[in-house]
Structure 1
Amino acid sequence: MQAFGLYTHIRANRIRSGFLLAGLFLLIYVMVFAGALVVEAFAYGEPPLDVILARAFRDLIAAFPWATIAALVWLFIAYRFNRGIIALATGAHPVTRAEEPKLYQLLENLCISRGLTMPRLYIMESPVLNAFASGMNEKQYAVTVTRGLMEALDDQEMEAVLAHELTHIRNGDVRMMVIAVVIAGVISFFGEILFRSLTRMSFGAGGIRMPRRSSNGDRKGGGGGALVAILIAVALIVLSWLLSQVIRFALSRAREYLADAGAVELTKNPDAMISALLKIDGRGELPSAPSAVMEMCIDNPRSGFTDLFATHPSIASRVDRLVRFAGGRMPELPPPTKEASGDSTDTGAEPHAGPWGTALPEGSAQQPGPGQSSSQSQGSIPQGPWGPLFPPGGGR
């Protein structure tokens, strides 16, 4: 990717993310209005619907500054304590240069190459393969990797992962995601309180209770105004929650492609980013980590129906973009071994299963990859199942 194209995409994504965050913040006031509708529906007899809506809007105006202050206080708490909260939730611990010299040096060299402030380095003692960046400012920025990732990746692959997380920091993604998670948490929390309050008011000790009806409600034309107001409130609560989740997903998905591209820009090694992603694929689930932390990870695996709510694009689509736009190559599969293929004279032996799929049997022709002709896939260049491992005339 050319620098102009990459930075244009980053700038466009920041503008788009700003609008999405503003929309997320507005959903707080939609929830306040829904709460006002519930209160007005139960507080007074049963006036017409237009009267209930007018009173609820008046309540929203009165509650506007208090709702804003509450949201800002919540954000301030996240701003001050987010790194400690995340470390507590994941069990990650900080490490120094003396404790992890190789990992520390890889991260430090990347920071020096781009003039970035060195973030704190954390390690999770977990066998899964994942990493994430966190923090709201330069004093709080941290990069966390799992022990399993350190053991599974070589130096070039680990450098690519660290560059991916540094790109999130440089692009402001981690700050944006913390804000989005906090605001979405406010909406979910307030929505749950409203539903619980509505349940208590509607289902009391004496059974189902409807809003109080005035003695002359029919003459005032109230009819089912309160019931309609409650249905509107429930619809607003559900819609606000769904939109808050959709906005979170939109923010997460867009930033991963840019972070992959930024990692290639930092390391000049698209092949390392590709092989790292393929090793991480399907092995990144952190069972003890909350969903908000998984949204910040390099991979947040989902499958089946839950893929509809995935916060990350699939590894396959990310690798495809690196191959098509960043000059990356799919790694060559290792040759089959005796242990994997059985007796060499057995023509019915199963193909060897490599770390990224099933290798071709010995003697079989390798197929050209996307965009590769048959002539391009032959010759002395090392061949992988998707085309040449390295470009002609040079390695990585």
Structure 2
Amino acid sequence: MAAFGLYSHIRTNRIRSILLIGGLFFLVYVLVFAGSLAGEALAEDAPFDVLVSRALANLVTAIPVATLVALAWIAIAYLFNRSIIGAVSGARDVSRQEAPALYSLLENLCISRGLTMPRLAIIETDALNAFASGLREDQYTVTVTRGLLNALNRDELEAVLAHELTHIRNKDVQLMVTAMIIAGVISFFGEIAFRWLRFAPLRASGSSRASNRNGNSGGGGAAIALIVAVVVAVVAMVLSGVIRFALSRSREYLADAGAVELTKNPDAMIGALMKISGRSDVPAMPSSIMEMCVDNPRQGFQSLFSTHPSIDNRIDALVRHAGGSPSAPVRQEEARPLPPQDDALPRQGPWGPRRGPWG
């Protein structure tokens, strides 16, 4: 892919992503409206249009409170997202002394493009995966799994690190972490809305019986309003997922292309993807973190809700646009192995003898 074309795609994708983030934030207010409509329906069996009018009036009143709650949530995540992500993913920071070879690979890539060196972390799991995270420069972190270190050779691991650095360089990590935070806000308001609806049929029938005893048949709109509230809440939650999927899918192609630009080795990226395929799921990892990984095998029905394009499609893109070869993994096995780490990183997998500047 030509440089002009690549950077044009990045700019277009960034603009589209900002609009999608705005849509994600809008869903917070949609869920507040659903909860308000449900509350009005449970309070009185009035005509449907009256209940909707009241719910809209309540929404206008609630918007400042909902906004403050969302902004407070975002502020907390902005300050502590790195420690939160580290805690839920099980990652631990490693220093140059603990992982000299891995640290040098990442550092050399940063030097080649004038990027600030991010922190480096490792997850102790046999799964093959990696992700970048952080909302600001001092929080940027590249996290890799032990399985990835053990299975990939030097060139393949360098390609994966370049892939994650591209996410940082393109500001993908900021958008994805922001999307994860707002999705948490949506889940919070969604939980409130569904709690309103939990005993809705019982309360609605009780309200209807009370109206009948008073000789007032009511407006008959409560049941319809409750159904509408449920539908609106469900649609909002589904759209929240769809927006996050839209944010993730296109970025992986751009990050693969960025990895090739940094390493000048499309075959290494292809080899890494083929080894990762089918071995990337980290069982204890929350889905929100898996969405930021190199590969996310967790998919919905017929791949409609998969956050990443398939490995086959990504390899095909690298072959067609970056000059890669489908037989790359065969050749890559003969590439330079990653030198062994010190005692903090056990010597397992296809590690070669200590050599060169990593010794």
Give the TM-score normalised by the residue count of structure 1: 0.79
C-alpha displacement of 1:303: 6.1
- Return the alpha-carbon distance in structure 2 between the equivalents of residues 231 and 243 of structure 1: 18
**1:331 maps to 2:330:** no
Q: Is residue 200–residue 226 contact of structure 2 (8 Å, CA) maintained in 1?
A: no
Q: Is the 8 A contact 2:267 2:328 kept in 1?
A: no
SS of 1:113 mapped into structure 2: helix
Q: Would you say 1:247 and 2:243 are equivalent positions?
A: yes
Question: Is the CA contact 1:92–1:144 (under 8 Å) kept in the aligned structure 2?
Answer: yes
Does the 8 Å contact 1:92/1:124 carry over to 2?
A: yes
2:329 and 2:52 map into 1 onto residues whose CA distance is: 65
Q: How much does 1:192 deviate?
A: 2.2
SS at match of 1:40: helix
Per-residue Cα deviation, 1:244-298 (whole angstroms, up to 9, x for no partner): 0100111111110000001111111111001010010010100111101100100
Q: Distance in 1 between matches of 2:216 and 2:21?
A: 43
Structure 2 equivalent of residue 364 of structure 1: none
**Is residue 201–residue 209 contact of structure 1 (8 Å, CA) maintained in 2?**
no
Partner of 2:124: 125
Q: Higher helix share goes to which structure?
A: 2
Q: CA deviation at 1:98?
A: 1.1
- Tell me what 1:170 maps to: 169
Residues 1:39 and 2:39 aligned together:
yes
Aligned ranges for residues 359-378 of structure 1 at < 5 Å?
none
Distance in 1 between residues matched to 2:315 and 2:36, nearest whole Å: 48
Match of 1:322 among 318, 321, 338: 318
For these two proteins, the number of residue pairs brought into alignment is 330
Which deviations, in whole Å up to 9, do the C-alpha atoms of 1:307-327 show, x marking residues without a partner? 332111100000000000011
Q: Compute the displacement of 1:203 (Å).
A: 3.2
Q: 1:224 aligns with which of 213, 220, 224?
A: 220
Task: Report the CA distance between 1:78 and its aligned residue.
Answer: 1.1
Which one-letter code corresponds to 1:127 in the other structure? D
Q: Match of 1:321, as an amino acid?
A: A
Distance 2:46 2:150 in 1: 68
Structure 2 residue matching 1:19: 3-state secondary structure:
helix
CA-atom RMSD in angstroms: 2.0
**Match for residue 104 of structure 2?**
105
2-structure distance, mates of 1:292, 1:277: 21
Please give the alpha-carbon distance, in whole angstroms, between the structure 1 residues aligned to 2:102 and 2:67: 42
What's the CA shift for 1:334? 5.6
Amino acid at match of 2:219: G
- Letter paired with 1:129: L
Match of 2:159 in 1: 160
Deviation at 1:185, TM superposition (A): 1.9
Are the aligned partners of 1:158 and 1:276 in contact in 2 as well (CA < 8 Å)? yes
CA deviation after TM superposition for structure 1 residue 306, in Å: 6.3
Query: Which runs of structure 2 are paired with 1:283-294 in the superposition (5 Å)?
Result: 283-294=279-290
Distance in 2, matches of 1:65 and 1:87, equals 32
Cα deviation, residue 87, structure 1: 1.1
Deviation digits for residues 182-229 of structure 1 (CA, Å, limit 9, x no counterpart) = 21222222222222222235336xx953456374644xxx53212111
In structure 1, the residue matched to 2:356 is none
Q: Which amino acid aligns with 1:29?
A: Y
Matched, 1:143 2:142: yes
Q: 1:92 deviation in Å?
A: 1.1
Cα distance change, pair 187–110 in 1 and its aligned pair in 2 (3 A): same
Q: Write the distance in 2 (CA, Å) between the matches of 1:62 and 1:253.
A: 37
Q: 1:42: how far off?
A: 2.0
SS of match in other structure, 2:139: coil
Consecutive unaligned residues of structure 2, counting only runs of 5 or more, are: 334-359
- Structure 1 moving runs of 4+ over 2 Å: 200-204, 207-218, 302-308, 331-335
Q: Is 1:116 aligned to 2:112, yes or no?
A: no
Letter in 2 for 1:262: G
Alpha carbons of structure 1 residues 138 and 332: separation in structure 2 relative to 1, 3 Å: closer
* Cross-structure match for 1:209: 206
Give the conservation status (yes or no) of the 8 Å contact 1:202–1:210: no
Structure 2 contact 159–260 (Cα < 8 Å) conserved: yes
1:181 shift after superposition: 1.3
Deviations along 1:153-191, whole A, 9 cap, x unmatched? 111111100000000011111111111112122222222
Task: Determine the C-alpha separation between the residues in 2 that align with 1:308 and 1:210.
Answer: 41
Q: Could you give the per-residue CA deviations for residues 352-389 of structure 1, whole angstroms, max 9, x where no partner exists?
A: xxx9xxxxxxxxxxxxxxxxxxxxxxxxxxxxxxxxxx
Report the Cα distance in structure 2 between the residues aligned to 1:99 and 1:301, rounded to whole angstroms.
30
- Percent identity between matched residues is 61
Determine whether 1:259 maps to 2:258.
no
Report what 2:341 is aligned to.
none
Residues 47 and 217 of structure 1 are in contact (CA less than 8 Å); yes or no, is this contact kept in structure 2?
no
CA distance in 2, matches of 1:280, 1:250: 22
Q: Which residue does 1:190 correspond to in 2?
A: 189
Distance 1:315 1:170, change over 3 A: same
Question: Could you tell me how far 1:71 is from its partner in structure 2?
Answer: 0.5
Output the CA distance in 2 between the equivalents of 1:292 and 1:333: 30
Residue 305 (structure 1) shift: 3.2
Specify the structure having the higher radius of gyration (Cα): 1
- The CA distance in 1 between the partners of 2:7 and 2:223, in whole Å, is 52
| In structure 2, C-alpha distance between the alignment counterparts of 1:64 and 1:128, rounded to whole Å | 43
2:101 aligned partner, one-letter code: K
Q: Secondary structure at the match of 1:122?
A: strand
Give the C-alpha shift of residue 333 in structure 1: 7.0
Which residue of structure 1 aligns with residue 27 of structure 2?
Answer: 27
Instruction: Determine if contact 1:41/1:227 at 8 Å carries over to the other structure.
Output: yes
5+ residue gaps, structure 1, are 336-354, 356-396
| 1:348-387 equivalence runs, <5 A | none
Aligned-pair distance for 1:49?
A: 1.6
Report the CA distance shift for 1:16/1:334 in structure 2 as closer, same or farther (over 3 A).
Answer: closer
C-alpha separation between the residues in 2 aligned to 1:202 and 1:216? 21
CA spacing shift, 1:122–1:53, aligned 2, 3 Å: same
> Where does residue 338 of structure 2 map in the other structure?
none
Bigger relative contact order (CA 8 A; separation at least 6)? 2
